[in-house]
């Protein structure tokens, strides 16, 4: 056991694009192994990076309280128990939880998101990638919020991301026609070849609005029935333009806007929602906490049957934590963004 | 019977604000009284004016086909049958239908909206005002789209208009707390005194966003549960800012935008829909055609019990048709905008 606990703290609230100066590296004392009943001391192995974390840095009312200034940045992680007062999670076992940007964390049974043991034999990255919150988000967003029906034409933005690629392939599993929007030929190729999407739009080289229209005409469909949107801004506006009557727009996130210093104007065409009787609905995964087991059963089945392709983009090194986070907003990650801090012992 | 049929035709598609030059007055020949089985020849008595008619003038895909250039402007009306091949609507009976801006109309049984007889003894303006499409729109929008629950805090924009005032009072009937937004002290006074709203915001003299926040604090509520929006634009943005978790925004129309030459940017705060799990849903009344009888039963009951106040703003004279239409967009109408062309014989 080392004597110190390296941490990346939130130094200040970002103004616009998040930068390295918004964080502070600190060597804190190692947390005490003198634990209360139910608690565990965890050594972090892998950290998860999600666009929603950017929202947690702002001092604005949201579905979770903001990360406090001077606290380690909040993040999902997988770690190994090195001291335990919890029989379900003995020393040496792998656990997941909201352990944050630090080497070691005490996870209390009273925490909002307490540590959970990984099922025996689970590769340590999978609870953060395909068996993680991004897949659950895709599941509830598409099936519950989006009220997906077999035969629907489905549009997914941020389609090569962890949530987007899961949503797109779940729609394929449900016998829908799926159009994905992603940035760059490599991502588009993966969506075509591995995820088997019906059509892919490269937003870096194509006009999204025009291409959705062309593809709908080629597919001879009346428009988009379900639009699973991770992006917001112009992408959302382009999708609204081509929604079918009674279409559903699932607002999962707005990565195009998270780092705006001033909020950008919204879509100019909301009147389309009136004349075409369209529903646009936001959600967060924690709305569905009571149904996680049901969803995870389906997801595990699909993954084990090889029906959902996924990629993990695993960076390495504790020093690279902020830089790895920034990859999300530059669209650099190929698949679920993770970072490895240590190997299990 | 006169030998001619005065009409106001759509001369061209408006660019931005609709003007008199977009219409053309014409004396056309009287329609033939040589009718097919099921048809009636109608003399118009009262015309109805609705903001949605502005949308019908544009050449854009919508829930109804655009009015063709050179055709009489489409409008709801009440008239008297002067020739009939329909035993349900004998000569002399009062009927309602989409008879348009003209003195006389042939209504075919094959029309999208064929003539319907008025129930015996109905005052001829009521099927166009409190027993008309605006009240049905309020009913389905509030109860079905908005999923209103007793105890909800409800915000209504355009609250002194025909649809808004009906929606606001229906919400009161359902034991909700209701905040209305309207323009000018006279309208606000009517909403307070006659419609018994809990709070009223005058958008001409108050900051809407700030006032919604203040009123929510005074009411000690967690925010708006249902926002029935007729206005769009800044009003919509202000409402989004104060929606409660899992709130519902009913998009009935966007009168602030109908006459924009260039579409205006949408709300800057759509991310609130994500973090607060908010639904925003558009609709048109014809989505609910199969349930009109059910709704009308409720509405008639409430009106006869004196539980819904309403006002009719009745202008007069065939020449004043376009000017009466323009009153809607200047916010000049006090209550449902009608125009009287003739008395029944």
Q: What is the DSSP string of A258-303?
A: TT-SSPPPB-TTTHHHHHTT-EEEE--GGGGGGGHHHHHHHHHHHH
* Distance in Å, alpha carbon of A57 to nearest chain B alpha carbon: 14
Please report the sign of the dihedral spanned by the C-alpha atoms of residue A40, residue A45, residue A46, residue A47.
positive
CB contact under 8 A, B251 and A269: no
CB contact under 8 A, A280 and B281: yes
Q: Answer yes or no: are the C-beta atoms of B55 and B258 closer than 8 Å.
A: yes
pLDDT at B2: 53
A2 vs B129 pLDDT, higher one: B129
Using DSSP, how many helices (H) and how many strands (E) does chain A show? 9, 15
Over 70: is that where the pLDDT of A1 sits? Answer: no
Residues of chain B with CATH 3.90.180.10: 4-129+311-340
pLDDT band at B320 (very low <50, low <70, confident <90, very high): very high
How does pLDDT run across B235-269, given as a tens digit for each residue? 999 999 999 999 999 999 999 888 888 888 999 99
Q: Which of A61, A72, A75, A67 is closest to A14 using CA atoms?
A: A67
Separation between Cα atoms, residue A210 and residue A23, nearest integer Å: 41
- What does the mean pLDDT of chain A come to? 95
Over 80: is that where the pLDDT of A80 sits? Answer: yes
How does pLDDT run across A100-112, given as a tens digit for each residue? 999 999 999 998 8
Mean pLDDT of A163-191: 97
Q: Label residues B4-35 b or e (16+ Cβ within 10 Å = b).
A: ebbbbbbbeebeeebeeebbeeeeeeebeeeb
pLDDT band at B56 (very low <50, low <70, confident <90, very high): very high
pLDDT at A5: 97
CATH, range A133-287: 3.40.50.720
How does pLDDT run across B113-152, given as a tens digit for each residue? 899 999 888 899 999 999 999 999 999 999 999 999 999 9
Nearest CB neighbour to B265, from listed A268, A276, A277: A268
pLDDT at A62: 86
State the Cα torsion B333-B334-B335-B340 to the nearest 10°.
-60
Question: Which of A258, A259, A263, A282 is the mutation pick for testing B, counting most B CBs within 10 A?
Answer: A282
The CATH class, in words, for B4-129+311-340 is alpha beta
Q: Which residues of B touch A268 (CB under 8 A)?
A: 263-266
Mean pLDDT of B178-194: 97
Q: Give the position of tokens 């830089």.
A: A323
Over 80: is that where the pLDDT of A139 sits? Answer: yes
How does pLDDT run across A204-250, given as a tens digit for each residue? 999 999 999 999 999 999 999 999 999 999 999 999 999 999 999 99
Q: Which residues of A touch B277 (CB under 8 A)?
A: 63, 281-284, 287
Burial of A332 per CB tally in 10 Å (0-12, 13-18, 19+): middle
Lowest-pLDDT range, A258-267, B41-50, B290-299?
A: A258-267
DSSP-derived pairing of the beta strands B312-316 and B336-340 = parallel
Over 60: is that where the pLDDT of A2 sits? Answer: no
Pick the CATH number of B133-286 from 3.40.50.300, 3.30.930.10, 3.40.720.10, 3.40.50.720: 3.40.50.720
Nearest CB neighbour to A274, from listed B61, B237, B282: B282
Question: Which of B253, B266, B276, B278 is the mutation pick for testing A, counting most A CBs within 10 A?
Answer: B266
Asked if this assembly's ipTM is beyond 0.90, the reply is yes
What are the C-alpha distances in Å from A53 to residues A14, A66, A78, A125?
A: 12, 10, 17, 19
Q: Which of B57, B136, B54, B42 is closest to B98 using CA atoms?
A: B42
pLDDT at B13: 97
A116 vs B60 pLDDT, higher one: A116
Q: Which residues of B touch A270 (CB under 8 A)?
A: 232, 236, 251, 254, 266-267, 282
Residue by residue, DSSP assigns A69-81 as TTSBPP--EEEEE
Residues of chain A with CATH 3.40.50.720: 133-287
Percent of all residues in chain A with a pLDDT value above 70, rounded to a whole number: 99
Mean pLDDT of B301-313: 96
Over 80: is that where the pLDDT of B77 sits? Answer: yes
Q: Answer yes or no: are the C-beta atoms of A125 and A78 closer than 8 Å.
A: yes
Over 60: is that where the pLDDT of B220 sits? Answer: yes
Mean pLDDT of A250-261: 91
With an 8 Å Cβ cutoff, the interface of chain B facing chain A consists of 55, 61-63, 232, 236-237, 251-254, 257, 263-284, 287
Quick one: tokens of B121? Answer: 């003894």
pTM: 0.94
Beta-carbon contacts of A121 under 8 Å, excluding residues fewer than 6 positions away, are none
In angstroms and rounded to an integer, the radius of gyration of the C-alpha atoms of chain B is 21
Mean pLDDT of A111-139: 94
Separation between Cα atoms, residue A214 and residue A218, nearest integer Å: 6
With an 8 Å Cβ cutoff, the interface of chain A facing chain B consists of 55, 61-63, 232, 236-237, 251-254, 257, 263-284, 287
A263 vs A278 pLDDT, higher one: A278
Q: Which residues of B touch A269 (CB under 8 A)?
A: 263, 266
Over 80: is that where the pLDDT of A3 sits? Answer: no
């Amino acid at each position: 056991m080392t004597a110190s606990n390296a941490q990346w703290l939130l130094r200040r609230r970002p103004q616009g694009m998040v930068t390295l100066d918004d964080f502070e590296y600190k060597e804190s004392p190692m947390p005490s192994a003198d634990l209360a009943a139910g608690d565990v001391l965890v050594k972090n192995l892998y950290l998860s990076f999600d666009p929603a974390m950017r929202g947690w840095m702002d001092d604005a009312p949201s579905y979770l309280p903001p990360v406090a200034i001077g606290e380690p940045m909040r993040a999902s992680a997988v770690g190994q128990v090195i001291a335990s007062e919890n029989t379900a999670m003995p020393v040496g076992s792998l656990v997941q939880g909201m352990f944050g940007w630090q080497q070691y964390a005490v996870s209390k049974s009273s925490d909002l998101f307490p540590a959970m043991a990984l099922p025996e034999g689970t590769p340590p990255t999978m609870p953060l990638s395909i068996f993680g919150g991004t897949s659950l988000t895709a599941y509830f967003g598409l099936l519950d919020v989006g009220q997906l029906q077999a035969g629907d034409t489905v549009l997914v933005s941020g389609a090569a991301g962890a949530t987007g690629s899961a949503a797109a392939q779940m729609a394929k599993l449900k016998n829908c026609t799926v159009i994905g929007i992603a940035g760059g030929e490599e991502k588009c190729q993966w969506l075509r070849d591995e995820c088997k999407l019906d059509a892919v739009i490269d937003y870096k080289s194509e006009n999204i609005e025009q291409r959705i229209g062309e593809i709908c005409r080629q597919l001879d469909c009346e428009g988009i029935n379900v639009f699973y949107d991770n992006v917001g801004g112009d992408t959302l506006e382009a999708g609204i333009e081509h929604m079918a009557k009674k279409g559903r727009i699932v607002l999962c996130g707005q990565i195009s806007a998270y780092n705006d210093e001033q909020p950008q104007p919204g879509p100019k065409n909301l009147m389309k929602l009136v004349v075409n009787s369209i529903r646009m609905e936001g959600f967060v995964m924690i709305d569905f906490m009571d149904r996680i087991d049901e969803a995870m059963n389906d997801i595990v089945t699909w993954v084990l049957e090889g029906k959902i392709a996924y990629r993990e983009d695993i960076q390495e090194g504790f020093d690279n934590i902020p830089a790895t986070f920034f990859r999300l907003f530059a669209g650099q990650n190929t698949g679920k963004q993770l970072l490895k801090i240590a190997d299990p012992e």
